[in-house]
Structure 1
Amino acid sequence: MKKLFSLLVGLTITSLSFAQSAKEDFTGKWKTEEGVIITISNGNGKFTGIDPKGRPTLYNVRFEKNEWKGTVENHESGQKGNCEIYLEGSNLKIVAHKGVFSKTFYWVKQ
């Protein structure tokens, strides 16, 4: 019984350490894996990321059901998908979904 309790406490602490907060701030300049700088701003509680050509690349990012969700778009390929966003230190982890497929990529804070 004591081992089970310890396991449950450990799992709870681990899950809380990965929990997201509605107070996270993604604003600023972020460098994509391709070297493009995306400028993220916050308006009306939603974040939007604009590429150097003024095109929205990340938009409608809002805190929903205890995680950050939004839409990400690759203008070069014309692909768009839903995504989850995680702030991991100076990295922004983006998990994009298109149908049953997903892709994870990272942007670095500038």
Structure 2
Amino acid sequence: MKKVLCCLIAMFITAIGFAQSANDNFAGKWKTEDGVIITISNNSGKFSGVDPKGRPTLYNVRFEKNEWKGTAENHETGQKGNCEIYLEGKKLKIVAHKGIFSKTMYWVKQ
């Protein structure tokens, strides 16, 4: 019983530590895993990101149902998909979905 209780407490603390907030601020420059710098800006509570060529990479990122959700685009493949974004200190975790597939990317604040 003690092990179950300890496990539940640990899960609760972890959930609180990674809880998202409508006040999260993604604005700034972020370096992708490929070394590309993406500039994210805030426009009336919705975030968008562009690459150095001015091409949109993140669209319409908004706080919805206690999560940051939007659309991500990979310009190399031309694919777009829904995504969730998590601010984890100086890292931005982006989980992009296309059908049944998903990909997790980490960007670092510059």
Q: Fold match, TM over 0.5?
A: yes
Q: Secondary structure at the match of 1:71?
A: strand
Give the direction of change, closer, same or farther, for the CA distance of 1:78–1:12 in structure 2 (3 Å limit): same
Aligned equivalent of 1:41? 41
Number of equivalenced pairs: 110
Structure 1 unaligned segments of length 5 or more: list them.
Answer: none
Q: Secondary structure at the match of 1:29?
A: strand
Q: Secondary structure at the match of 1:26?
A: coil
Shift of 1:76: 1.2
Structure 2 unaligned segments of length 5 or more: list them.
Answer: none
TM-score of the superposed pair, with normalisation by structure 1: 0.91
Shift of 1:14: 2.3
Shift of 1:11: 3.1
Q: How does 1:28-67 map to 2 (within 5 A)?
A: 28-67=28-67
* Percentage identity across paired residues of the two chains: 76
Give the direction of change, closer, same or farther, for the CA distance of 1:77–1:4 in structure 2 (3 Å limit): closer
Cα RMSD between the aligned structures? 1.5
Paired amino acid for 2:67? E
Shift of 1:44: 1.2
Aligned equivalent of 1:27? 27
Q: Secondary structure at the match of 1:16?
A: helix
